[in-house]
């Protein structure tokens, strides 16, 4: 019997450049996400022990960004409206990345973006202010799609119980809403920020500006999963209709084909650096960092809109041995903002920190006791990652212990 869960690599290896391990999951279409993560891929490290994300950081330094920007201008000229009507769509919550993308497109490149928002599950006060500032100070038309609250609560609870994935309902909207809204408004061009491959998805994904359709188009409803359950089973067991679930499902392939939707990454054309996106959004759209350190990491401005955010990264630590500090520090190592030694020290201090500030509110929302949540977490710990010592869980291979 395998000692690993979710198809994780049995041998744990850390990148020699950043502090990320080969246990980092690559993105998968959320509507194909099964409890055993069938078909999942994990971070690739080459023969020199360097991960794909670090290799792409090298490539970014050699890209001719002036030529890429010219390609962007030629693309935008194909779609730019002459009368000020909407000509592209930018999804987002008003965080640093969506603020940066929308503002550049409108004020630097003369486009007329419609912004659309699938709101967080449980807004933080500062997250809500940032969304409002994005629209009011940044100056954008914005459509908010607020899903059925009863269904949202049910699916969030089930995604935690079945997948230990508190963020699935948000991710489903984040990735599926924009193309559907574009089709509804007759828009053909959609922009996301940077490609997930910049952070560890297969490096080949960075060779195109196009967003892979497998993430936002469906063909056969009977093959789809929500909250770790086949859609037909979910409908039957929880007495919900297809209409109840449509907001969470991707657009049918025939709808997208007819609408001729073009979904791209702006980060293919513009060198994307999260810290610089933060400074830009702060200056141009009134974005503000969290007023305190985010639990589980040392930063204050990444992914701060949702009270369930901190719990999401806590569960990645449970399932993959990778906490929020590892994600943040690895990205900043690649951008030369911290050294690897500093990243390891930060991970030792903060990675896997239990989020307390919003925990009770989140657990109340999903109607789960803290005791039951902890029991659930223990069920999702892969034996090759975790061991129990003196009544406490401990990683078998922590990044900061590599050279100890």
In a domain, 338, yes or no: no
Per-residue pLDDT at 132: 98
In a domain, 293, yes or no: no
In a domain, 285, yes or no: no
In a domain, 176, yes or no: yes
Backbone angles phi and psi of 147, in degrees to 5:
-70, 160
In a domain, 214, yes or no: yes
Two tokens at 11?
């041998």
Per-residue pLDDT at 367: 95
Residue 264: strand pairing partners: 191, 210
Per-residue pLDDT at 232: 95
In a domain, 384, yes or no: no
Q: Tell me if 355 sits within 8 A of 314, measured CB to CB.
A: yes
Angle subtended by helix axes 149-163 and 168-185, to nearest 10: 130
Q: Nearest to residue 20, comparing CAs of 345, 294, 325, 312?
A: 325
Backbone angles phi and psi of 204, in degrees to 5:
-65, -25
CATH classification of the domain holding 112 = 3.40.50
Q: Tell me if 80 sits within 8 A of 106, measured CB to CB.
A: no
Residue count of the chain, please give it.
404
Alpha-carbon span 181 to 189, nearest angstrom = 11
Q: Tell me if 386 sits within 8 A of 398, measured CB to CB.
A: no
In a domain, 306, yes or no: no
Q: Tell me if 263 sits within 8 A of 178, measured CB to CB.
A: yes
Number of domains present in the structure of the chain? 1
Whole-Å CA distances, 352 to 92, 141, 203, 307: 27, 39, 27, 17
Local structure of residue 99 (DSSP, 8 states): H
Two tokens at 253?
């392939």
In a domain, 39, yes or no: no
Per-residue pLDDT at 1: 39
Query: Is the Cα dihedral 157, 162, 166, 169 positive or negative?
Result: negative
What is the residue-level pLDDT of the chain in tens, covering all 404 positions?
Answer: 368 999 999 999 999 999 999 999 998 889 999 999 998 999 999 999 999 999 999 999 999 999 999 999 999 999 999 999 999 999 999 899 999 999 999 999 999 999 999 999 999 999 999 999 999 999 999 999 999 999 999 999 999 999 999 999 999 999 899 999 999 999 999 999 988 878 888 777 778 888 888 778 888 888 999 999 999 999 999 999 999 999 999 988 888 889 899 999 999 999 999 999 999 999 999 999 999 999 999 999 999 999 999 999 999 999 999 999 999 999 999 999 999 999 999 999 999 999 999 999 999 999 999 999 999 999 999 999 999 999 899 999 999 987 54
Q: Which domain holds residue 111?
A: 63-268
């Amino acid at each position: 019997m395998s000692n690993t869960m979710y198809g994780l690599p049995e041998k744990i290896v850390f990148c020699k450049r950043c502090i990320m391990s080969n246990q980092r999951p690559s993105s998968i279409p959320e509507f194909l996400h099964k409890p055993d993560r069938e078909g999942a891929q994990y971070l690739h490290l080459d023969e020199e022990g360097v991960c794909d994300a670090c290799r792409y950081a090298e490539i970014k330094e050699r890209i001719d960004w002036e030529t890429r920007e010219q390609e962007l201008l030629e693309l935008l000229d194909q779609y730019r409206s002459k009368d000020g009507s909407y000509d592209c769509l930018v999804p987002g919550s008003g965080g640093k990345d969506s603020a940066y993308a929308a503002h550049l497109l409108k004020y630097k490149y003369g486009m007329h973006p419609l912004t659309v928002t699938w709101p967080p599950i449980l807004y933080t006060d500062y997250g809500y202010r940032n969304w409002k500032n994005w629209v009011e100070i940044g100056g954008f038309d914005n459509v908010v799609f607020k899903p059925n609250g009863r269904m949202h609560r049910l699916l969030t609870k089930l995604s935690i119980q079945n997948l230990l994935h508190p963020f699935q309902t948000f991710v489903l909207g984040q990735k599926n809403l924009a193309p559907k809204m574009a089709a509804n408004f007759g828009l053909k061009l959609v922009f996301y920020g940077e490609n997930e491959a910049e952070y560890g998805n297969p490096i080949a994904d960075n060779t195109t500006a196009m967003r892979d359709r497998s993430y936002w188009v469906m063909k056969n409803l009977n093959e789809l999963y929500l909250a770790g359950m086949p859609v037909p089973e979910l409908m039957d067991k929880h007495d919900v209709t297809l209409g109840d679930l449509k907001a969470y499902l991707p657009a049918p392939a025939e709808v997208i084909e007819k609408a001729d939707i073009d979904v791209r990454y702006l980060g293919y054309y513009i060198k994307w650096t999260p810290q610089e996106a933060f400074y830009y959004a702060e200056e141009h759209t009134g974005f503000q960092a969290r007023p305190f350190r985010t639990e589980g990491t040392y930063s204050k401005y990444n992914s701060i809109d949702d009270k369930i955010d901190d719990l999401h990264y806590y569960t990645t630590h449970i399932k993959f041995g990778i906490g929020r500090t590892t994600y943040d520090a690895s990205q900043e190592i690649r951008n030369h903002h911290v050294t690897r030694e500093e990243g390891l020290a930060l991970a030792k201090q903060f990675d896997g920190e239990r989020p307390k500030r919003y925990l009770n509110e989140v657990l109340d929302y999903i109607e789960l006791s803290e005791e039951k949540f902890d029991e659930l977490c223990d069920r999702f710990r892969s034996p090759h990652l975790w061991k129990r010592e003196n009544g406490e869980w401990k990683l078998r291979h922590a990044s900061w212990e590599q050279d100890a």
